[in-house]
Amino acid sequence: MNSIVSMRWVLARMYEPDLFIADCRFSLAEPEAGRTAFQQDHIPGAVYFDLEHSLSSPLQDQGHGGRHPFPDIESLAQLLRKSGVSNETRIVVYDDQGGAMASRLWWLLRYMGHEEVYLMDEGYSAWKAAGFPVTAEVPVRIPASFTPRLQQHLLASLEEVREASKQGSSLLIDSREHARYLGLEEPIDHTAGHIPGAINLFWKDNLNSDGTWKSHDALADRFHHLPKDQEIIVYCGSGVTACPNVLALRAAGFDKVKLYAGSWSDWISYPENPVATGDE
């Protein structure tokens, strides 16, 4: 399934009544920067979805769940309803981070059973630089009926990840930078390294040098060495930048792909979980 669409695809459809546009711009370094940028200007009709307030739950007191805990699905469903999303709505998501943030919403919608959701290639800065319409107006949305149909097979539990690490029952893919995977540096989490048994496929390698997404054939070539008959579990630091790798794998024809939502920051919250460094 090709979930990546061009800016011109969006431009040609942006005023169609069944199309919903979600702005997911967010900066981990400046958590309010995305919302501020949205308030300044955005694609007409777009609704803002904040990574930490809309697409994640609050950090858990016991320290588990990762840095961006899995959101409460009913709260997200209610936000979608208030924003005018129905089960029949076509949804386009975008950000300005190569799809890193928007892919989180893409995955959550797929998990909620909404299949017609697309990531806009290149992102907002390219849209604006192309001279396409922008506005500072926030749209008035008419609430709609949206019923989640959870696809539990898309989500990997901690126990499944432990089993994959110990027994090789599933292929583990670490989506972070190679230096973090190796354990040479860790700028965010308190422990460096990776889940034993995982291989490293940095999510940004799904992009061309100009920031556009690679073609279907190029993505298929990138993952040609991976087994299509084995289940794949993808993780990153906190379950965000793993999502573009899930999207890319799906685009390349892999249909047995799960997300470990808590990812590395959840894994290391359990002292009994082993940690590996260096190449596998």
Domain residues of the chain, as ranges? Answer: 4-129, 155-267
Band of pLDDT at residue 139, cut at 50, 70 and 90: confident
DSSP secondary structure code for residue 212 in this structure:
P
Mean pLDDT confidence for 132-149: 96
Q: What's the rounded Cα separation, in Å, for the pair 53 and 56?
A: 6
Give the per-residue pLDDT at 45.
Answer: 96
4-129: CATH, from 3.90.1150.10, 3.40.50.300, 3.40.50.970, 3.40.250.10:
3.40.250.10
The predicted structure's pLDDT at residue 2: 81
To the nearest whole number, what is the mean pLDDT of the chain? 96
Per-residue pLDDT reduced to its tens digit, 30-79: 999 999 999 999 999 999 999 999 999 988 767 899 999 999 999 999 99
Q: What angle do CA 258, 259, 262 make, to 5 degrees?
A: 150
Statement: the pTM of the whole predicted model exceeds 0.85: yes
| Cα–Cα distance for residue pair 238/176, rounded to 1 Å | 10
**Cα(252)–Cα(220) distance, integer angstroms:** 5
Q: How confident is the model over 191-224, as pLDDT tens digits?
A: 999 999 999 999 999 999 999 999 999 999 999 9
pLDDT at 85 over 90: yes
Count CA atoms within 13 Å of residue 22 on its CB side: 29
Model pLDDT for residues 14-41, shown as the tens digit of each residue: 999 999 999 999 999 999 999 999 999 9
Fold matches, 4-129 and 155-267:
yes
pLDDT at 1: 61
pLDDT of residue 280: 85
Task: Quote the CA–CA distance of 251 and 231 in Å, as a whole number.
Answer: 16
Inform me whether the pLDDT recorded for 7 exceeds 90: yes
Please say if the pLDDT value at position 183 is more than 70: yes
Q: Which CATH number fits domain 155-267: 3.40.470.10, 3.40.250.10, 2.40.50.140, 3.40.50.720?
A: 3.40.250.10
Distance CA 58, CA 65 (A): 10
DSSP codes of every residue in 108-169? HHHHTT---EEEESS-HHHHHHTT---B-PPPP-----------GGGB--HHHHHHHHHH-S
What's the pLDDT score for residue 59?
84
Q: Which residues are catalytic?
A: 236
Structural element, H or E, at residue 94: strand 90-94
Residues 273 and 179: their CA atoms lie apart, in Å, by: 21
